Chain A
Amino acid sequence: MSVLELRDVSKVYGHGVAEVHALYEISLAVGAGTMVAVMGPSGSGKSTLLTIAGTLEDPSTGEVRIAGTDVTQLSRVQKAQLRRRTIGYVFQDFNLLPGLTAAENVALPLELDGMTARRARQAGLAALNRLGLAERAGHYPDQMSGGERQRVAIARAVVGERQLLLADEPSGALDSVNGEAVMRLIHEACRGGMAAVVVTHDAQLASWADRVVFLRDGRVTDRTTPAAGPESLLRGAGGDSGSGGQVR
């Protein structure tokens, strides 16, 4: 069963002459343990797709199922609960609360969901520990580097029993080394059984995904096909040309 399934999802903003079609009949299924990247230029509908997948907005038509539940049928309270328990979000600008330490930021969604402060803190520390940030638990966001802040944001997104991780340009503000570290963590979360959707215009980020979906003007225009094993690249390379994968 897919953790996230979009069926013929369309989104229209405005009415009449001011009507804007942000998404047209998008269908997408993401299973547990899978990372899907959605690539497209600005204005292609990537962020709208993510907000609908994250139940922050309703589609105009179509169905959104998360962990088997049709979320378009849920009340606002039920959706908020689903978001807290099932979905983790990672944004380009981290969205950490500045007045809370790293550990408090990570524990916050669990506390909001009714977990005792002590248990939430333990779970938060465990998540930070898994991401190599144990010694930063007591630091505030402004005492950490951009890369560390994003790792805290990922810890917050994967803490507890989350099944779905949604990321919007998660390494957009970071240098390439920190960006790679962020993608490794998201990849790791998928290996642990989460499903992830990463929207980006950056091919290096997208290349971490199992599948890449291309969006243009609100429509899915193309998808990658499962790639051959990496061995084929190493076999194909060689000689004095110094080129491993020629663009033909």
Chain B
Amino acid sequence: MIAQNVAFWIVALSMAGAAVGVVRTRNVVHAALYLVVVLGGAAAQYILLAAEFVAWVQVLIYIGAVVIIFLFGIMLTRAPMQSETALDNDQRWPALVVAVFLLGVLIVLLVDAFGDQTIRLDDELLATGRTGNVGSSIFRQYVVPFEVVSMLLLAALVGAVAIARRD
């Protein structure tokens, strides 16, 4: 247990720092890289929670594809590489207030609701997170959402092409 906790804390802190970096850095590309850290950290957390399939999908999709798209987007929109202009707009401080406030509310709520609940890392958990289990769950119980999501992907693909096409 201690090992997991330590691992958790290291990963968590780096994720938090990277997240703050995403929203605070003046360099867009740096923000993308910080995002990579966050996404990787998330994958690490999944593994800690014995959700291995989700973790690898996370790495594959998010880090492997989404971030690439982001970088393409940054490139195509000629985002200023240098920090000539500030990347934050006028409502920074009110936004900070709202965010902190929301955080406070959530923490209070969570502490209040889930005070000392623990996650037991046992074989049952491992069994749950096995890929085979996840797969069978998808293709049995959640096959309809699965198909719908594939339609969604198709629509998104077509839509993205349609929107961004130069005509």
Q: Do they bind each other?
A: no
